[in-house]
Structure 1
Amino acid sequence: MFTGIPDAPAAPEVAVVVDVMRAFTVAASALRRGAERIVFAGTRREALALKARNPGWLAFQDGAPVPGFDLANSPARLRSLDVRGRTIVQKTTAGTAGALAVADAGLLLCASFPVAGATAEVLRRAGARTVTFVVTGDDGRAEEDLACAEYIAALVRAADTAPGPYLERARRSAAAAELAEAVRRGWTGVHPQDVELCLEADGVPFAMVAGRADGHLELRAFDQPVPRLNSPYDRWC
């Protein structure tokens, strides 16, 4: 099942929330660079309040840079930050909103092209009967997110599925064009390499599992044997 955020069921058995450009590409890169976890915030005010209450936490958001935030959701600009051992609070209009919309899923994965292969492997091993893919951009119509979701679904069926056609759809998407135009105009918060980093398929060796902890929805890297569905979150991470 492929759906946008407004039509997503509140508690699907398994949900894969997809945001390619750029929330979950940034999340995958941050976790690969050693971030401990990513906490999703519902609003920018909540994100900044969490950062203020927890010295050492970082805060990421989408759009133009906002005072108080450490990154404007750019995977290329992330490389200048030391995130090792840090907790990151992330607020975006698509990716984190989609995850929060299906926070009660039995198994909740967040995905982009870099973690596509690892995500498909978790789905295969979990043996899910049905999977809800939440295409977060443009009310479920974002071509880059839909292409990534369909690639993951294809990988579940056939592990040797080639990423090329799906990446090409994403490369030609409106989101990619908008990022390229933002770079051309010299807007802050974007980087010329962002699109290409978002299109590096299967380069991250772990999936990203989300679950509730300490009153928040948080995301962690997951590269362990898959337990049964509906297991408590602390057994996943």
Structure 2
Amino acid sequence: MDHQFVGIPELTGVPRVAVVIDVMRAFTVAAWAFARGVERIVLASTESEALALKESNSGWLALKDGAPAAGFDAVNSPGLLRSRDFGGRTLVQKTTAGTVGALAVADAPLVLCASFVVAGATARFLRGEESGPVTFVVTGEGGRADEDLACAEYIGRRMGGGEVDPAPYLRRARMSRAAADLAGGLRSGYHPDDVGLCSEIDRFPFAMVARREESLMVLRPVGVPAGPAPAP
């Protein structure tokens, strides 16, 4: 299929199907949040909006990039999130790249958010929808983040239905500038396991679909039947 791979600044018009990629770390974190019991994730455009949504909705939680901050309940780190219990809660997420990319394509008829941990399920979901060519939004580094591009290319290949060796794609993620920055402690709100957790393939059996619900852009998990395991 003739998929398109674009950065957020390169988006023109409204794509028919958009898959927004943020491997390190927004949509790895989102997948872990769902695995830890979050019911839905509301994507916020600013930190102020995230806090306002939390304050106006009883029981909601808020998550942001960077170091812990007043009013926020969690930071954008899978290592710091994986032991939390979020059973039945709504989480408001604001990050530097991932949420920005999802909101940029909010008018598309079908929007998915993805990372390596849900890559296989995302590809199977798209095959089931017979979606045709996809616009992959590579959110990091203005569309140049190799970990995001590698994940997008892997999902695109998996959409073809055959076996695809994930190892070269995961290697690119582990060797990316984002991984080096995280491992070097250059990003706050970091756990030493973050790079490894962001480089796991197909950990979760669901895709993450974003849709408008009233005035909000809301991300929810959608279970996808298992397909053939990727090559070791």
TM-score normalised by the chain length of structure 2: 0.92
| The one of 6, 13, 16 aligned to 2:9 | 6
Distance verdict in 2 for CA 1:188–1:224, change over 3 Å: closer
Amino-acid identity (%): 62
The C-alpha deviation readout for 1:74-112, integer Å capped at 9, x for no partner, is 001002422110000000110000000000111100000
2:43 pairs with one of 30, 40, 44: 40
Per the TM alignment, residue 9 of structure 1 is displaced from its structure 2 partner at its CA by 3.3
User: How far is 1:4 from its partner?
Assistant: 0.2
**Residue 218 of structure 2 corresponds to residue 218 of structure 1:** yes
Aligned equivalents of 1:165, 1:188: Cα separation in 2: 28
Task: String of CA shifts for 1:16-60, please: whole Å, max 9, x gaps.
Answer: 000000000000011122110000000000000001111211111
Q: Report how far residue 135 of structure 1 moved.
A: 0.1
Look up the match of 1:70: 73
Q: After the TM superposition, which residues 50-61 of structure 1 pair with which residues of structure 2 at under 5 Å, given as runs?
A: 50-61=53-64
**Is the CA contact 1:20–1:112 (under 8 Å) kept in the aligned structure 2?**
yes
Q: 1:109 aligns with which of 109, 112, 135?
A: 112
Code of the residue aligned with 2:115 in structure 1: it is: S
CA distance in 2, matches of 1:129, 1:9: 19
- Aligned pair partner of 2:179 in 172, 176, 184: 176
Which residues in structure 2 correspond to 1:70-89 (within 5 Å)?
A: 70-89=73-92
Contact in 1 for aligned 2:207/2:224 (Cα 8 Å): no
The TM-score normalised by the length of structure 1 is 0.90
User: C-alpha distance in 1, partners of 2:92/2:126?
Assistant: 26
Classify 1:159/1:59 alpha carbon distance in 2 versus 1 (closer, same or farther; 3 Å): farther
Long gaps (5+) in structure 2:
226-232
Q: Following the alignment from structure 2 to structure 1, what is the Cα–Cα distance between the partners of residues 133 and 146?
A: 22
CA deviation after TM superposition for structure 1 residue 129, in Å: 2.5
SS in 2 for 1:46: helix
Match of 2:167 among 164, 168, 171: 164
Change over 3 Å in CA distance of 1:53–1:119 after alignment to 2: same
Q: Which residue pairs with 2:29 in the alignment?
A: 26
Which of 25, 36, 49 is 2:52 aligned to? 49
Amino acid at match of 1:124: R
Q: Which amino acid aligns with 2:119?
A: A
CA distance in 2, matches of 1:210, 1:166: 25
**Residue 235 of structure 1 corresponds to which residue in structure 2?**
none
Which residue in 1 is equivalent to 2:230?
Answer: none
- Residue correspondences, number: 222
The runs of 5 or more residues in structure 1 that have no matched partner are 226-237
